[in-house]
Structure 1
Amino acid sequence: MKLKFSLFLIVCLYINIYSQENISVEKNQFKINLILPGIVYEHGFTEKNTLYSEFSLGFGYRSSYFGGNTWSFYPNINEQFRHYYNLQKRADNGKRTDKNSGNFLALNAIYNFESISTKKDFSEDTSSFTIAPVWGFQRTYKGGFNLSVNGGIGYNIDKYDNEFVPVINFSLGWVIGK
Structure 2
Amino acid sequence: MKNNYFILLLSLISCFTIQAQEEAVTTVEKNQFKINFLFPGFVYEHGFSARNTLYSEAGLGVGYRYNSFYGESNTYFSPFIHEQFRHYYNLEKRANKGKRTAHNSGNFIAMSAVYTFQSISTNTHYAEYSPSLTLAPVWGFQRTYKRKFNLELNLGAGVNIDQFDTEFAPIANFTLGWVIGN
| TM-score between the two structures when normalised by the length of structure 2 | 0.88
Q: Residue 36 of structure 2 contacts residue 42 of structure 2 at CA under 8 Å; is this kept in 1? A: yes
1:106 aligns with 2:110: yes
Counterpart position of 1:137: 141
Residue 59 of structure 1: CA displacement? 1.0
Q: Residue 71 of structure 1 contacts residue 122 of structure 1 at CA under 8 Å; is this kept in 2? A: no
1:56 aligns with 2:56: no
User: 60-69 vs 131-140, which deviates more?
Assistant: 60-69
Q: 1:46 is aligned with what amino acid?
A: S
Residue 118 of structure 1: CA displacement? 5.0
Per-residue CA distance 1:118-153 (angstroms, 9 max, x = gap):
565776311000000000000000010000000100
Per-residue CA distance 1:101-121 (angstroms, 9 max, x = gap):
000000000000000015657
- Pick closer, same or farther for the CA change 1:176–1:154 going to 2, 3 Å: same
Counterpart position of 2:47: 44
Aligned match for 1:69, one of 52, 70, 73 = 73
Aligned match for 2:95, one of 88, 91, 97 = 91
| TM-score between the two structures when normalised by the length of structure 1 | 0.90
1:32 aligns with 2:35: yes
Task: Provide the C-alpha distance between the structure 2 equivalents of 1:130 and 1:17, rounded to a whole number of angstroms.
Answer: 42
Task: Provide the C-alpha distance between the structure 2 equivalents of 1:66 and 1:173, rounded to a whole number of angstroms.
Answer: 38
Residue 17 of structure 1: CA displacement? 3.4
Q: Considering only aligned residues, what root-mean-square deviation do their CA atoms show, in Å? A: 2.2
What fraction of aligned residue pairs are identical, expressed as a percent? Answer: 56
Per-residue CA distance 1:44-97 (angstroms, 9 max, x = gap):
010000000000100111112114211211100010000000001001111111
Q: Residue 144 of structure 2 contacts residue 151 of structure 2 at CA under 8 Å; is this kept in 1? A: yes
Q: Residue 31 of structure 1 contacts residue 174 of structure 1 at CA under 8 Å; is this kept in 2? A: yes
